[in-house]
Structure 1
Amino acid sequence: MNKIHKLNILFVISKHRTNKLGVAPIACRLTYKDKRKQFATGLFVKPKLWQNTKQRVYPPTEENEFINSKLSLIKNKINQAFLFLELQKIDFSVEQIYKQYIGETQDKDKSLIDAFYYHNNRMKKLIDIEVSLNTLEKYTQTLNHLIDFLWFKYKKKDYLLKELK
């Protein structure tokens, strides 16, 4: 039976980081599968106005209502990211929830050819520093041999690294 994991979203203020204006930053702390991810919300509040149990700013002034609505939007967006990942029926971490929340694309599976291109591009930057042009040409030739071999042996243009044995 699959264990159901819950996502906890908590807003915390750092009283020890109160600035000269007397306001402290509000951070969001995500907890999923006993792993935490904390990030700044970009919002600030006077520590004495923060109600920790209700996760809100009190009393209801125009500025405080703005902060409360922003916190509510952040929470809703995180829940949307969590549900999106749950619907994909893949195993994911708190870091992937955060990446989905901020709009970063999820890590796609890397392939053998991608790894070679990454390596060769890094080598290009090191020409005349640590690597000679001749060495880069040999790496490029090796890449071409690899592409030919994958097609000859497996009839594939590329191979995922997770499929390698």
Structure 2
Amino acid sequence: MVGNPDFLTGRGQDQSAEFQELESPEGELHLRFYIPSGNEFALPATGIKEVLSPSPDRITPVPNVSPLLLGTLNVRGRVVWVADLGQFLGDAAMLNTDRQEISVIAVEDQDILLGLAVDRVVGMDWMDIEQIQLAGSVPDSVAPFLKGEWKLDEVGNSLRLLDQVAILRSARWAA
């Protein structure tokens, strides 16, 4: 087929079909999600190991640990700590665990793997990293974990970019 001269020139059977140019994405790929308060955040796709949707009964509570931790999850034989990301960021609203599945974003840095439980995952988007701005009025509990934000519209809606390495390395886990 590739040796056929019509293949390279575009002539032949598909000549009547319109040529559709593929859009080349601009920026970097990010995972968008919401925490229980309704605030939207993003994480760079390069720092995400995987996105899981376990049932709440698969997360095993562990006594005498930080109240930010929901428990552990067995992922293909590997124990993954699962944390309520909203509570970690100082969100007043607690994650609703009384549902069929909980969205868990597994982030990794070196040998540290942590599951971040969120309210819901929106999906993946290409975001231009050049357009990121310093975050405006941000609570002190969130500021150390932000890289910046994108302004989404004129009304003031924004998408905040989190730093998963800062989250993983935080001293808050010891509290």
Q: Which structure dedicates a bigger proportion of its chain to strand?
A: 2
Greater gyration radius: 1
Q: Which structure dedicates a bigger proportion of its chain to helix?
A: 1
Tell me the TM-score normalised to structure 1 length.
Answer: 0.24
Tell me the TM-score normalised to structure 2 length.
Answer: 0.23
Relative contact order, higher structure (CA 8 A, sep 6+): 2
